[in-house]
Structure 1
Amino acid sequence: MSTPRIRTEDRDGVRVLVIDNVAKRNAVGFQALEELEEACLAAAAARVRCVVLRGAGPVAFSSGFDLDEMGETSRRGLRPDEAVERAAEVLAAVPCPTLAYLNGSAYGGGLELASACDLRVARAGAALGMPPAKLGVVYPEGGLRRFLGLVGAARTRELFFVGRPVSAETALAWGLVNRVAPAEDAEREALALAAEIGANAPLAVQGMKRILDLLEATHERGLSDAERAEIADLRRRAFESRDIVEGRRAREERRPPRFTGE
């Protein structure tokens, strides 16, 4: 039986998914991508409050797709770029907020997986790069769209046409990451942010994530009647929930709220 490439750790409502392939700087092959999909679906079923994706060890988040498998196809018949895109879509569809902790450098498919998360916290000194032009690869539409949404057209062109990595600090200025933390503080800060998100009302946070996803996906055409109805239902459920009562009561009693997602 092959060694698992995705490890799962639970921390008080936060599920940490660890890309575990240290010998190859946490490169992701077909097995790891399929395991990541399964882990994301399991997290959704378990109703965790926040998912954190990180690399194992102190050096790399992920060096990208495993070059030893570059000329192959998966057991599902997917090419490497298709397998990365599928895993990124499953990760993006997790109902709760997702956070990529860039504990080290992230390249190619690894950086795309990070871009599919809602938030990104990077360790100072980490390098982030998209090298498909240096490998002769035309990147798929879904991945390019994610970067357009994060950093805009000009920065996306620079990132992909040049193929040269940028520093975490430059990525912060571009909007590619949300925070950069010193190496000694980065893990603690990333997990603390995830825990803070996880402590909030699940119906509220997940409802807003869904609405933001809809607004981004429908930016050009506008919302349909069915999508507007879905948004109205999300807001109604939150206003009728026990959590909204708990939130008000906790504020009146000056204590932390105890949300249940109901």
Structure 2
Amino acid sequence: MTGVIVNYKNNYGVITLNDPSIHNALKKEDINVIREALFKWRNQELDAIIITGTGKSFCSGLFLEEFDYKVWDKNPITLICEDIENFKCPVICALNGGAYGGAVEIALSCDFRVVNRKLTLMVPAGRLGIHYESSGLRRALNTLGPSLTRRLFLLGEVIPFEDILKTNFIDFCVGEGETVKNKSLKLVESLSKNSPLAVSGMKKTIIEILNNSLNAEAAAIRVRDCFNSDDHKDALLAIKGKREPKPKDF
């Protein structure tokens, strides 16, 4: 039985990590369910995807007892992160609690992170004799900065909320009376008002810039395509008509 629940709504998908007895650690079947959902949704008309957890923790990374690194072509966490980065619409990580191990990298690969004040981060890589892949360290450096990345990966510290708050990790923090899931749904609503073509194109360009892999020619084509799109034409008419634009799906 998988510890992951997958739901598809009208214009967004939700992936819920649902095995709080092991802090939502990911088993082999869980990895497969997540990747299959992301693959299936590639052709769906989605404004966003939400990834969240149940219980006190968001996720504690891989359930290591089930995995044998000797037979990996690539770390399963890395594969999920690449799927998230390459997905056409924004992915929102709704961290209902702490993130540990590979879960930190999953959160870092998402476009938006919504948290509460219970958030802590911890990566016990050194204690486990694990060398993180360069892509994971790059994501941490881009978002957390060199100092916190060293504390997280080299020292294996539990990073408290107050220190995380000083970095670029947190996009939105909910207060009393609001859940990370509800805040994430508000972000989905905001995204639904924008052109999917423009949002998807800018997401791709942002990631390429962060990864130092910008294809300037392809980015220029995306810019031109948006200027020539029906969404842009409708937006101009909406301004003149004093109405809200009506963006189309891909």
Q: TM-score, normalised by structure 2?
A: 0.91
Residue aligning to 2:237: 249
Which runs of structure 2 are paired with 1:22-33 in the superposition (5 Å)?
22-33=20-31
Residue aligning to 1:152: 145
Secondary structure in structure 2 of the residue aligned to 1:176: coil
Which runs of structure 2 are paired with 1:10-89 in the superposition (5 Å)?
10-55=8-53, 57-70=54-67, 72=68, 77-78=71-72, 82-89=75-82
Q: 1:133 to 1:78 in 2, by over 3 A?
A: same
Structure 2 counterpart of 1:140, from 126, 133, 138: 133
Residue aligning to 1:176: 169
Structure 1 counterpart of 2:189, from 183, 186, 195: 195
Tell me the matched-pair count: 249
CA distance in 2, matches of 1:210, 1:160: 27
CA distance in 2, matches of 1:250, 1:11: 28
Which runs of 5 or more structure 2 residues have no equivalent in the other structure? none
CA distance in 2, matches of 1:158, 1:253: 54
CA distance in 2, matches of 1:183, 1:126: 14
Contact 1:34 1:87 in 2 (8 A): no
CA distance in 2, matches of 1:124, 1:109: 21
Shift of 1:183: 5.3
Residue aligning to 2:154: 161
Per mean C-alpha deviation after superposition, the further-off stretch among 97-106 and 163-172 is 163-172
In the TM superposition, structure 1's runs of 4+ consecutive aligned residues that sit over 6 Å from their partners are: none
Q: TM-score, normalised by structure 1?
A: 0.87
Structure 2 counterpart of 1:207, from 176, 201, 204: 201
Secondary structure in structure 1 of the residue aligned to 2:165: helix
* C-alpha RMSD of the superposition: 2.0
Shift of 1:207: 0.8
Per mean C-alpha deviation after superposition, the further-off stretch among 15-24 and 232-241 is 15-24
Shift of 1:169: 3.9
Structure 1 counterpart of 2:218, from 201, 211, 230: 230
Which runs of 5 or more structure 1 residues have no equivalent in the other structure? none
Contact 1:44 1:96 in 2 (8 A): no
Contact 1:147 1:156 in 2 (8 A): yes
